Amino acid sequence: MGKKILINFIKEHLVSYSIGIVFMLLTSYIQTLFPKVLGNTIDILKVNNFNPKSVYLNLVYIVLIAVGTFASTYAWRNLIIGNGRTLECYLREKLFDHFQKLSPEFYNKRKTGDLIAYAINDINAVRMTFGPATSMAIKGIVICVISVYSMAKTINWGLTILVLVPIPIIIFVMFHIGKIVRKRFKKVQESFAAISDRVQENISGIRVIKAYVQEEDEVKKFEELNEQMVESNLKMVGISAYVAPLIELCFSISFVLNLIIGGNMALEDKISLGQFIAFNGYLTMIMAPIISIGRIITIVQRGMASLGRLNEIFNVNPEIKEGDNLIKAPIKGTIEIKNLSFSYPNSKEIALRDINLIIPQGHTLGIIGKTGSGKSTLINLLLKMYNVSNEKILFDGIDINDYELNTLRDSFGFVPQENFLFNASVSDNIKFFKDTYSKDEMINAAQNSCIYESIMGLPKGFDEILGERGVNISGGQKQRISIARALIKNPQILILDDSLSAVDTITEKQILKNLKTIRKNKTTIIIAHRISAVIDADEIIVLDKGKILERGTHLELVKKGGLYYDIHNAQSQNS
């Protein structure tokens, strides 16, 4: 899939690439005129009664060559190198878009640092391959072909072939080295990913690290990773270091052969001094592209290694599948669950077993249960974070798999257990960076989630910038801002996944009272450990080991004397 994206990009930009290549060919041709003009000028100067006008004319040619080279180089660099930068942006956008479509299961298996490496280092390596490396390769081939032809034309094919004999050796060795570079670059990328992941984990968990006085241990672990990266880089540099000395050695042989044979030919007047200098000029001109072969091969091998890594990611298909109907009608709020059983991918343990439940539109369902009882799993399935069999979950009588995925999730307002706040203003966190909500709607959402007064107590109010993940506010404030984010959406179905655990009982009671008022005729699901959060729900279910153990209203469940009664008594004694 990554290669397909790349091919599509090249097709879209084929015109600009073609024009860029034309200018590149023109640059190469213009540059190869210089040795010939220089040789002619020297021959003119050797003549006893030379014509100064001819010299001045050749000087004008040299200036025109310089100007032509500048103009055509400027044109192709803007087109070819510019397209490389556009490709980098294009691939990164495609990769980010692909990340958005992948299921939570994918992220459970991948490290953050590794994914960051894909988005930065690997894409940059691909850009270098289809930008600078491509241009250097095309330009180098053209210069070499024209120069070799000009050398043969200036003197003869025999001398040209003789002085260029060492060059095939260089190319053969470079291709061999390039294969090794590709393997070693993959190790470099893996080391970079490991370091990125370690840095990300340490920054995210800095409070825990400090609380457990683990700074020195973490530094030691980082030093080990850093040394591994240095070692992998040195191994790659070590093999690349052979290239430059080898090129210099081979070209030294070429120049020695040229000085001996070509010099004698000039002394014997078989060729003119100008022809000899022009020949040397072409040989020198060939040297630059040949030297760049090493760099080109290294860049291309890196790029191919990175493209392979990107292909692995792009070939990961989203596990969440949509049905054939793709209904876009908004959900009204009635939920029906029929004989639902579920196990997580690659797990033999059953997370939910034989769940049967009807939540009429406008009702509030409370879900209570111990840790690991399946509460969050049930919510994940309602949001279709995992695939669900047909006819197991229905919204308004329509199978969950018949809804378009975006339409389905857009009908929900969801406040997860782990609240995530962005490094942005309070207003942006509540509105989720959308301009569709008015200031009054934002204030109402903040008031109903009982966070308004706390926000107004901040130095800049709603414009106060929250730190990463909201580090500069309390856990209860984070939860209430997250609730405000869900309420401003005014969804048909609101899910609070243990989202009142960090607030005090008085604030919790006020939030629940507000919800009862503003959520009339709309479905609400409240998951909680505290019974006080679900006490007024129309129905409460008690989950245990993935099964509905008890169900009913608060009073009905207390009278049953089961698990709910035990939880109620335990919490009453602790309050």
Q: How far apart are CA 409 and CA 382, in angstroms?
A: 9
Identify how many contiguous H helices and E strands the chain contains and give both numbers.
Answer: 25, 10
Pick from 46-55, 208-217, 316-325, 496-505 the range whose average pLDDT is largest. 496-505
Is 288 a domain residue? yes
Spatial separation of the C-alpha atoms in residues 153 and 66, rounded to whole Å = 23
Residues 268, 402, single domain; the answer is no
Listed in order, strand segments (DSSP E) in 166-226 are none
Tell me: pLDDT of 104 over 80: no
Model confidence pLDDT, tens digit, residues 183-235: 777 788 778 778 877 887 787 777 678 777 788 888 888 888 888 888 888 88
Shared domain for 147 and 241, answered yes or no, is yes
Residue 196 falls inside a structural domain: no
For residues 428-449, give the mean pLDDT: 88
Place of tokens 């509105």: 431
Specify the amino acid at residue 404: E
Q: How far apart are CA 376 and CA 363, in angstroms?
A: 19
Q: What pLDDT was estimated at residue 395?
A: 93
| Residue 215 counted as domain residue | no
- In this structure, is residue 208 part of a structural domain? no
> What's the pLDDT at 341?
92
Best CA proximity match to 513, nearest among 488, 536, 542, 546: 536
Question: How far is it, in rounded angstroms, from Cα 163 to Cα 183?
Answer: 34
Distance CA 348, CA 345 (A): 8
- Answer yes or no: are the C-beta atoms of 78 and 361 closer than 8 Å: no
Domain of 256, CATH number, reads 1.20.1560.10
pLDDT-derived band at 50 (thresholds 50, 70, 90) equals low
DSSP secondary structure letter of residue 531: G
Burial of 93 (0-12, 13-18, 19+ CB in 10 A): exposed
Domain membership of residue 115 (yes or no) is yes
Supply the range of the domain harboring residue 405.
335-411+524-575
pLDDT of residue 274: 81
Residues 271, 357, single domain; the answer is: no
Interaxial angle between packed helices 134-154 and 33-46, expressed in degrees from 0 to 180 and rounded to the nearest 10: 30
The pLDDT value recorded for residue 336 is: 95
Taking the whole predicted model, whether its pTM rises above 0.75 is answered as: no
Please indicate, yes or no, whether residues 303 and 351 belong to a single structural domain of this protein: no
pLDDT given at position 138: 87
CA distance 29 to 43: 22
Are residue 391 and residue 302 in the same domain, yes or no? no
Backbone angles phi, psi at 525, to 5 degrees: -120, 125
Predicted confidence at residue 330, as pLDDT, reads: 83
For residue 48, pLDDT beyond 70: no
Among 280, 314, 348, where does a domain finish?
Answer: 314
Euclidean distance between CA atoms 526 and 359, whole angstroms: 12
**What value does the mean pLDDT of the chain take?**
85
Domain assignment present for 204: no
The Cα 334–Cα 339 span in angstroms is 17
Return the SS3 of 502: coil
| Confidence at residue 19, expressed as pLDDT on a 0 to 100 scale | 92
3-class DSSP state for residue 537? coil
Q: Identify whether residues 300 and 339 lie together within a single domain.
A: no
Shared domain for 48 and 141, answered yes or no, is: yes
494 bridge partner residues: 413, 524
Considering the domain architecture, whether residues 250 and 388 belong to the same structural domain is answered as no
394-406 per-residue burial string, b: 16 or more CB within 10 A, e: under 16: bbbeebbbbbebe
Q: What confidence tier does 2 reach under pLDDT thresholds 50, 70, 90?
A: low
Supply 25's token pair: 């060919």
How much is the average pLDDT of 364-373?
A: 89
Residue 146 shares a structural domain with residue 292: yes
Residue 290 and residue 151 in one domain: yes
Instruction: Say what the pLDDT of residue 58 is.
Output: 81
Count the domains in the chain.
2
Contacts 24+ apart (CB under 8 A), 169-175: 169/250, 170/246, 170/247, 170/250, 170/290, 170/293, 171/290, 171/293, 173/242, 173/243, 173/246, 174/243, 174/293, 174/294, 174/297, 175/297
The amino acid that residue 196 corresponds to is S
The phi, psi pair for 550, rounded to 5°, reads -145, 155
Does residue 135 belong to any structural domain of this protein? yes
Convert the pLDDT of each residue in 508-545 to its tens digit: 899 999 999 999 889 999 998 889 899 999 999 999 98
Q: If pLDDT is split at 50, 70 and 90, which confidence band does 444 have?
A: very high
Q: Are both 380 and 292 inside the same structural domain?
A: no
pLDDT in tens, 331-356: 998 999 999 999 988 788 889 999 99
- Tell me the percentage of the chain whose pLDDT exceeds 90: 20
User: In the prediction, which pLDDT does 49 show?
Assistant: 57
Q: Which residues contact 316 (CB under 8 A, 6 or more apart)?
A: 98, 102, 106
Least confident of 127-141, 164-178, 299-313: 164-178
The tens digit of pLDDT for each residue in 126-164 reads 888 888 888 888 888 888 888 888 888 877 787 788 778
| Listed residue (367, 416, 358) closest to 531, CA to CA | 367
Residue 509 lies in a domain: no
CATH number at 359 reads: 3.40.50.300
Q: Is the pLDDT of residue 279 over 70?
A: yes
Pairwise pLDDT comparison (437 vs 156), residue with the higher score: 437
Query: Can you give the pLDDT at residue 275?
Result: 81
Q: Does 272 lie in the same domain as 396?
A: no
